[in-house]
């Protein structure tokens, strides 16, 4: 006796092999796309977590100062405390590489961190070559390559001394350095040296910048007692928190790619729906016979459900491994775009499990309606079909009315507008297809002769299915165009945001707090028109509303100070901030915190644990919004951070380079960083520009996936029209004419999809550019290169998709096709 | 005009080879109206499909107007069919997306030429098959009889050398069948149209000049209107 599984298997593999294959291909691609995103996202998070964990190592707390360094005596009691199991002393010092090649001071600037034990468990350094012998310096592989140094080679530092390279290590956050000279203009190199050596070079004997230590248990008691004992001094203690959100916003980028993955699932799901729905319609007679033989409604539905389960299983079995491979390639591309010199291990276990569940479920979810419909087949199905025809006219009118209604959402500035516009595109596409086919008839006639005209007529036979297919292509194109426009606009948006919130033209950071004399000297520079001090307390640990530990910076602001955030009520916010225990959060910090305005946020300030009322959330370019702002007076008096290591200069734009050189020359002994607003714009926008290429690849994949839908639809149309194609052949249509007819149908679907997609994309870009929710971040523009690619790829891939069906149609046996009638 | 020599057609059914036509020899003169009759499976429809170039023989020759159909390739047969042959099907085989006029014009469009002269001819044909005023009506909205009239007009639109008809009245009631057969007779008489019609119906066959009876893949009997026992034969058959 045949099992129901075997019957279902035969149904999907015997009836329409090509259709089965194309549907399976769509499931495989959809599943692999989602798998790739899940694997890439998880792996990327793990990579950043790994590097963050490597940075914090086994340390539980660290003792820092709001001055550059402090006396080792301040922490001698901690070193002797029985609750402390390990300590690491570090001193940071700015220096310059002494190089044979010609590079500016700016490019040669290097921060040397002297540590008392390079092998400490509180410091994890993955050695590639050499050893951590506490005698020489430790550099990353990227720096070694750039400087052309090997283990044992000598590196010289201007006015300090020289040391041999004792170890070359993998990328680590502590030693994050530029990998090319271009990036070296705005980012300092970082290397590790023995503490004693650095002290000898600098004369800062007995001084440290910070101490890390590990405790038995959680060390909470010691932490609180030290917090109390450091009160009133420049020294303060912070728990060590692994939080890298201030230095990267890669999570936000994945939101972007998840939208595309969702789109691919939607397109694949639609292809599955189309296939199974047509299959059910074709087999109504078969179902009716089954029911007449005693099959129940649920038994018939079960038969179709099992067919879908089999397809989903095969699709998942192939799609998931393929997706893992895609994910690996995607991470490589992403890390290269963002110039991260990171080593990663693919984390596929959990994402694979999730992908298997998604890959298995979504084809079934998309086919639920046809499955139900199969079971509902009436024994008097012929009569029912006659009734359905009347109903479908009403359905067309309803579809158009609802479509127009949803399109009106473009006038509403709300996120739901996007969903409404996309839904309206699907609903209105039959009208668009009818209109476009009339417009294109003369063109098709000139290209394909009479088969071109027949193609336009044929499209009306299954107008909903053909329109849905074109609509899916249109939605794919429009969403990618929108995302592409966002990516293209983002540099301008970021630049606008950076320039309006940077607070000046140049930010100069020193190891020592800036004195009044320094400021006077700076104001004497002919190109410098203004100098404003900036106090940034970092690192400051804080708690989310769910009591998660996080870490960011708190920056001082005042009404007469530099403008560091953008808000319409900027003046009111400055005024409100003068109230005690108040703070403003950057948008990303606010999101991560999870609370509401008016609630309090707990922070470990240099003056101990404190709560601050969050009075607002603002947009700022500083640390990509993962930051807090506090009134300058409150930061000093209440928070306990008194020094300013940064100055914001307003500089004549023509004299930026000369000013930078002069700064290094005059303050080189304590200057640690000079960054211009242009540097900040460049470093923020360069990676985004690189994402354009990824977007183009995504566009091609989405159009390819939608074209699989076109191939599937045309194949179904061909099989349904066997009788008519047979008749045409009998009446004298050659095989070539049949092929041309199907190609013209594919071209029309593809062209409609592309035109509809471009039009919808432009509407979405316009809506986004005008949206107050985006705060002018995106400007209205035509993403010309993406539009051209969409047109070429859309038309070409649609023709390729049609070619499959045209081959099938031209090979149909005339006699058996005629019998279909 | 039509010459068939030693025509054979075999079909494979699984492992078994079935010979449907077992060496037919047949000649049909220009302007002749021939009906082919026989029980199901006797090979009459297969012969018609071979004459239309929709199928190729296993062996033997088919000549129409001195052209060997069996020596043509697939494309040549298709072009020959649309230029020289007209075909009327039992179930009309109209294209549902096209109007009456468009259905009739289809073979001309397929040939890439629709001159004003041809357009006038289409109108004349619509008139002659009695479908005036229905030019722009969708074919699938017509009655069975009207659809078959469209099919006849379509078959005649290219001035075919031969009109082939496969059970043209099979789906029609007697009155409608008589009207359709009347049309066949009209074109046969007015235009000297050669007609080869396959039918089960002796009433329909009675309109022909000659009746060819098939049995088990061979010609069993040929009766001509000129034969003295023609009327008697028909009467017996009907009885």
What percentage of residues in chain A have a pLDDT greater than 70? 96
Mean pLDDT along residues A683-691: 75
Give me the domain span that covers residue A549: 504-683
pLDDT, position A153: 94
Do the strands A646-651 and A600-605 form a parallel or antiparallel pair, or are they unpaired?
unpaired
Q: Which of B54, B91, B111 sits opposite A814 (nearest CB)?
A: B54
Residue A749 predicted with pLDDT over 90: yes
Residue A384 predicted with pLDDT over 70: no
Mean pLDDT along residues A579-596: 94
Residue A305 predicted with pLDDT over 80: yes
Count up the domains in chain A and report the number. Answer: 4
Residues A256 and A144 in one domain: no
pLDDT, position A284: 80
Mean pLDDT along residues A607-630: 92
Name residue, tokens 């955030």: A565
pLDDT, position A821: 55
CB contact under 8 Å between A730 and B55, yes or no, is: no
Mean pLDDT along residues A671-691: 82
Residue B237 predicted with pLDDT over 50: yes
Radius of gyration of chain A (CA): 33
Do the strands A646-651 and A528-534 form a parallel or antiparallel pair, or are they unpaired?
antiparallel
Residues A188 and A209 in one domain: yes
Residue A244 predicted with pLDDT over 90: no
For A457, the closest chain B residue by CA position comes to B97
Which of A683, A706, A735 is where one domain is finished?
A683
CA-to-CA separations, A588 to A249, A483, A490, A625, B194, in angstroms, rounded: 9, 21, 17, 5, 87
pLDDT, position A383: 43
pLDDT, position A264: 87
Do residues A613 and A585 touch, judged by C-beta distance below 8 A? no
In sequence order, which residues have a C-beta less than 8 Å from that of residue A414 and are 6 or more positions away? A773
Residues A109 and A213 in one domain: yes
Handedness of CA A19, A25, A26, A28 (dihedral sign): positive
CB contact under 8 Å between B54 and A737, yes or no, is: no
Do residues A650 and A530 touch, judged by C-beta distance below 8 A? yes
Q: What is the pLDDT of residues A482-539, one digit of tens each?
A: 888 888 888 888 888 899 999 999 999 998 889 889 999 999 999 999 999 999 998 8
What percentage of residues in chain A have a pLDDT greater than 90? 42
pLDDT, position A106: 82
pLDDT, position A386: 45
For chain A, say whether B91 makes contact (Cβ under 8 Å). yes
CA-to-CA separations, A384 to A274, A466, B12, in angstroms, rounded: 21, 23, 39
Mean residue pLDDT across chain B = 88
pLDDT, position A661: 86
Do residues A815 and A724 touch, judged by C-beta distance below 8 A? no
Residue A364 predicted with pLDDT over 80: yes
Residue A380 predicted with pLDDT over 60: no
Q: What is the pLDDT of residues B160-174, one digit of tens each?
A: 889 999 988 888 888
Among candidate residues A44, A9, A624, the one with its CA nearest the CA of residue A334: A44
In a domain, A223, yes or no: yes
Which of A211, A239, A267 is where one domain is finished?
A239
For chain A, say whether B99 makes contact (Cβ under 8 Å). no
CB contact under 8 Å between B81 and A815, yes or no, is: no
Mean pLDDT along residues A612-633: 93
Do the strands A84-98 and A109-115 form a parallel or antiparallel pair, or are they unpaired?
antiparallel
In a domain, A392, yes or no: no
Which of A182, A204, A239 is where one domain is finished?
A239
CB contact under 8 Å between B97 and A815, yes or no, is: no
In a domain, A403, yes or no: no
Residue A392 predicted with pLDDT over 80: no
pLDDT, position A379: 62
The rounded distance, in Å, linking the Cα atoms of B116 and B101 is: 14
CATH number belonging to the domain at B30-58+73-238, selected among 3.40.630.30, 3.40.50.10190, 3.40.50.300, 2.30.29.30: 3.40.50.300
* ipTM value for the complex: 0.88
Mean residue pLDDT across chain A = 87
Residue A293 predicted with pLDDT over 90: no
Residue B201 predicted with pLDDT over 50: yes
pLDDT band of A755, cuts 50, 70, 90: very high
Q: Which helix (H) or strand (E) holds A373?
A: helix A368-375
**Least confident range of A351-360, A734-743, B199-208:** B199-208
In a domain, A748, yes or no: yes
Q: Enumerate the residues of chain A whose CB falls inside 8 A of the CB of residue B107.
A: 731-732
**Least confident range of A60-69, A689-698, A742-751, B115-124:** A689-698
Do residues B139 and B96 touch, judged by C-beta distance below 8 A? yes
HEC profile of A623-691: HHHCEEEEEHHHHHHHHCCCCCCEEEEEECHHHHHHHHHHHHHHHCCCEEEEEEHHHHHHHHHHHHHHH
**Least confident range of A8-22, A195-209, B37-51:** A8-22
pLDDT, position A820: 64
C-alpha A681, offset from chain centre: 19
Structure tokens at A305: 């459900």
Q: Enumerate the residues of chain B whose CB falls inside 8 A of the CB of residue A821.
A: 89, 91, 93
Residues A235 and A262 in one domain: no
pLDDT band of A322, cuts 50, 70, 90: very high
Helical H segments across chain B, by residue range: 44-51, 74-84, 100-110, 116-128, 144-156, 174-191, 202-205, 230-238
The rounded distance, in Å, linking the Cα atoms of A641 and A583 is: 14
Do the strands A154-157 and A109-115 form a parallel or antiparallel pair, or are they unpaired?
unpaired
Phi and psi at residue A799, to the nearest 5° = -65, -40
Residues A692 and A679 in one domain: no
Residues A598 and A667 in one domain: yes
* CB under 8 A, 24+ apart: contacts of B71-79: B74/A735, B75/A734, B75/A735, B75/A736, B77/B53, B78/A729, B78/A732, B78/A733, B78/A734, B78/A735, B78/B53, B79/A732, B79/A734
What is the three-class DSSP state of A194? strand
CB contact under 8 Å between B109 and A453, yes or no, is: yes
CB contact under 8 Å between A732 and B82, yes or no, is: yes
The rounded distance, in Å, linking the Cα atoms of B37 and A58 is: 98
Mean pLDDT along residues A412-416: 85
pLDDT, position A312: 94
Residues A716 and A811 in one domain: yes
Residue A271 predicted with pLDDT over 90: no
pLDDT, position A390: 43
The rounded distance, in Å, linking the Cα atoms of B26 and B48 is: 12
Q: Enumerate the residues of chain B whose CB falls inside 8 A of the CB of residue A737.
A: 110
Structure tokens at A380: 């008097």
pLDDT band of A337, cuts 50, 70, 90: confident
Residues A180 and A319 in one domain: no
pLDDT band of A382, cuts 50, 70, 90: very low
Mean pLDDT along residues A403-421: 89
For chain A, say whether B110 makes contact (Cβ under 8 Å). yes
Name residue, tokens 């316009």: A766
For B99, the closest chain A residue by CA position comes to A457
CA dihedral A129, A131, A137, A139 (to 10 degrees): 30
pLDDT, position B191: 84
In a domain, A443, yes or no: yes
CA atoms within 13 A on the CB side of A265: 23
Helical H segments across A80-219, by residue range: 105-108, 141-147, 181-184, 195-202
A799: exposed, middle or buried (C-beta count within 10 Å: 0-12, 13-18, 19+)? middle
B60: exposed, middle or buried (C-beta count within 10 Å: 0-12, 13-18, 19+)? middle
Name residue, tokens 């400055």: A574
CA distance B110 to chain A (A): 6
The rounded distance, in Å, linking the Cα atoms of A811 and A13 is: 20
In a domain, A183, yes or no: yes
Do the strands A235-239 and A61-65 form a parallel or antiparallel pair, or are they unpaired?
antiparallel
For chain A, say whether B96 makes contact (Cβ under 8 Å). yes
CB contact under 8 Å between A734 and B75, yes or no, is: yes
Residues A543 and A663 in one domain: yes
Residues A551 and A675 in one domain: yes
Residues A74 and A154 in one domain: yes
What percentage of residues in chain B have a pLDDT greater than 90? 38
C-alpha A527, offset from chain centre: 40
The rounded distance, in Å, linking the Cα atoms of A374 and A2 is: 20
Q: What is the pLDDT of residues A174-233, one digit of tens each?
A: 898 888 888 888 788 999 999 999 999 999 898 999 999 999 888 888 999 998 888 888
Given phi > 0 = left and psi -120 to 50 = alpha, else beta, which region is B50? alpha
Residues A125 and A7 in one domain: no
C-alpha A11, offset from chain centre: 42
For chain A, say whether B136 makes contact (Cβ under 8 Å). no
In a domain, A609, yes or no: yes
Interface of B with A in 148-207 (CB under 8 A): 154
CA distance A773 to chain B (A): 49
Structure tokens at A401: 């009315």
């Amino acid at each position: 006796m045949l099992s129901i599984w075997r019957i279902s298997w035969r149904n999907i593999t015997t009836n329409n092999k090509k259709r089965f294959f194309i549907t399976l291909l769509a499931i495989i691609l959809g599943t692999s796309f989602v798998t790739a995103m899940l694997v890439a996202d998880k792996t990327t998070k793990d990579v950043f977590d790994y590097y963050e964990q490597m940075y914090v190592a086994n340390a539980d707390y660290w003792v820092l100062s709001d001055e550059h360094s402090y006396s080792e005596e301040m922490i001698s009691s901690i070193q002797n405390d029985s609750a402390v199991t390990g300590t690491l002393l570090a001193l940071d010092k700015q220096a310059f590489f002494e190089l044979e090649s010609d590079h500016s001071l700016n490019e040669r600037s290097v921060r040397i961190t002297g540590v008392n034990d390079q092998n400490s468990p509180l410091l994890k350094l993955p050695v590639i070559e050499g050893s951590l012998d506490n005698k020489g310096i430790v550099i990353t592989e990227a720096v070694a390559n750039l400087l052309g140094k090997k283990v044992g080679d000598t590196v010289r530092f201007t006015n300090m001394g020289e040391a041999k390279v004792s170890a070359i290590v993998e990328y680590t956050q502590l030693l994050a350095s530029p990998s090319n000279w271009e990036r070296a203009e705005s980012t300092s190199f970082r290397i590790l040296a023995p503490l004693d050596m650095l002290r000898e070079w600098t004369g800062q004997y007995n001084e440290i910048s910070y101490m890390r230590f590990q405790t038995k248990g959680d060390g909470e008691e010691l932490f609180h007692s030290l917090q109390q004992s450091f009160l009133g001094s420049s020294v303060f203690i912070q728990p060590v928190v692994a939080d890298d959100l201030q230095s990267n916003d890669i999570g936000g980028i994945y939101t972007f790619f998840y939208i595309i993955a969702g789109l691919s699932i939607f397109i694949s799901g639609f292809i599955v729906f189309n296939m199974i729905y047509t299959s059910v319609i074709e087999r109504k007679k078969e179902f009716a016979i089954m029911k007449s033989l005693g099959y129940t409604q649920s038994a018939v539905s079960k038969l179709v459900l099992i067919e879908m389960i089999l397809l989903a299983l095969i699709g998942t079995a192939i799609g998931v491994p393929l997706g893992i491979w895609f994910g690996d390639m995607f991470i490589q591309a992403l890390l290269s775009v963002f110039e991260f010199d990171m080593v990663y291990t693919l984390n596929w276990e959990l994402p694979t499990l999730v992908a298997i569940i998604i890959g298995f479920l979504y084809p079934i979810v998309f086919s639920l309606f046809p499955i139900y419909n199969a079971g509902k087949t009436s024994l008097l199905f012929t009569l029912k079909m006659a009734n359905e025809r009347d109903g479908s006219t009403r359905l067309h009118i309803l579809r158009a009315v609802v479509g127009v209604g949803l399109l009106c959402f473009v006038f509403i500035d709300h996120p739901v507008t996007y969903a409404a516009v996309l839904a309206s595109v699907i609903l209105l596409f039959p009208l668009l297809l009818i209109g476009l086919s009339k417009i294109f008839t003369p063109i098709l006639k000139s290209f394909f002769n009479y088969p071109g005209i027949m193609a336009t007529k044929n499209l009306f036979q299954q107008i909903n299915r053909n329109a849905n297919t074109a609509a899916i292509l249109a939605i794919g194109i429009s969403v990618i165009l929108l995302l592409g426009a966002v990516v293209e606009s983002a540099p301008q948006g970021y630049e606008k945001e950076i320039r309006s919130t940077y607070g000046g033209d140049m930010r100069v950071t020193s190891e020592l707090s800036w004195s009044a004399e320094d400021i006077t000297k700076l104001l004497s520079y002919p190109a410098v028109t203004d100098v404003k001090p900036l106090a940034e307390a970092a690192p400051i640990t804080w708690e989310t509303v769910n009591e998660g530990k996080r870490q960011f910076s708190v920056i001082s602001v005042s009404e007469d100070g530099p403008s560091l955030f953008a808000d319409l009520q900027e003046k009111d916010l400055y005024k409100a901030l003068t109230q005690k225990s108040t703070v403003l959060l950057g948008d990303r910090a606010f999101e991560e915190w999870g609370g509401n305005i008016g609630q309090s946020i707990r922070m470990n300030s240099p003056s101990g644990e404190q709560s601050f009322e969050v009075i607002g959330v603002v947009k700022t370019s500083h640390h990509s919004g993962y930051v807090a702002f506090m009134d300058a007076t409150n930061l000093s008096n209440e928070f306990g951070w008194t020094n300013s290591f940064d100055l914001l200069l307003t500089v004549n734009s023509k004299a930026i380079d000369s000013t930078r050189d002069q700064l290094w020359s005059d303050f080189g002994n304590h200057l640690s960083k000079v960054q211009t607003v242009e540097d900040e714009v460049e470093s923020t926008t360069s990676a985004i520009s690189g994402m354009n290429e990824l977007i183009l690849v995504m566009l091609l994949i989405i159009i390819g996936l939608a074209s699989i839908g076109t191939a599937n639809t045309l194949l179904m149309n061909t099989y349904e029209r066997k009788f008519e194609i047979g008749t045409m052949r009998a009446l004298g249509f050659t095989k070539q004419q049949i092929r041309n007819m199907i190609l013209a149908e594919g071209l029309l679907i593809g062209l409609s999809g592309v035109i509809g997609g471009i039009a919808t994309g432009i509407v979405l870009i316009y809506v986004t550019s005008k949206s107050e929710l985006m705060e002018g971040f995106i400007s209205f523009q035509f993403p010309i290169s993406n539009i051209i690619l969409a047109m070429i790829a859309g038309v070409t891939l649609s023709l390729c998709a049609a070619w499959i069906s045209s081959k099938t149609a031209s090979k149909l046996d005339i006699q058996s096709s005629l019998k279909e009638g | 005009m039509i010459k068939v020599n030693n025509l054979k057609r075999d079909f494979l059914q699984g492992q078994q080879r079935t010979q449907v036509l077992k060496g037919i020899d047949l000649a049909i003169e220009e302007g002749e109206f021939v009906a082919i009759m026989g029980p199901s499976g006797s090979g009459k429809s297969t012969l018609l499909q071979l004459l239309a170039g929709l199928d190729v023989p296993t062996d033997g020759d088919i000549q129409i107007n001195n052209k060997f159909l069996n020596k043509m390739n697939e494309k040549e047969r298709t072009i020959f069919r649309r230029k020289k042959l007209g075909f009327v099907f039992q179930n009309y085989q109209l294209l549902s997306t096209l109007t009456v006029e468009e259905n009739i014009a289809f073979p001309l469009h397929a040939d890439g030429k629709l001159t004003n002269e041809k357009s006038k001819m289409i109108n004349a044909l619509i008139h002659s098959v009695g479908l005036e005023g229905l030019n722009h009506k969708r074919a699938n909205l017509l009655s069975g009889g009207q659809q078959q009239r469209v099919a006849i007009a379509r078959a005649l639109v290219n001035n075919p050398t031969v009109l082939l008809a496969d059970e043209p009245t099979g789906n029609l009631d007697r009155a409608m069948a008589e009207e359709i057969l009347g049309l066949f007779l009209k074109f046969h008489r007015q235009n000297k149209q050669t007609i080869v019609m396959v039918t089960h119906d002796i009433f329909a066959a009675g309109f022909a000049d000659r009746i060819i009876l098939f049995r088990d893949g061979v010609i069993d009997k040929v009766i001509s209107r000129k034969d003295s026992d023609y009327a008697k034969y028909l009467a017996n058959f009907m009885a």
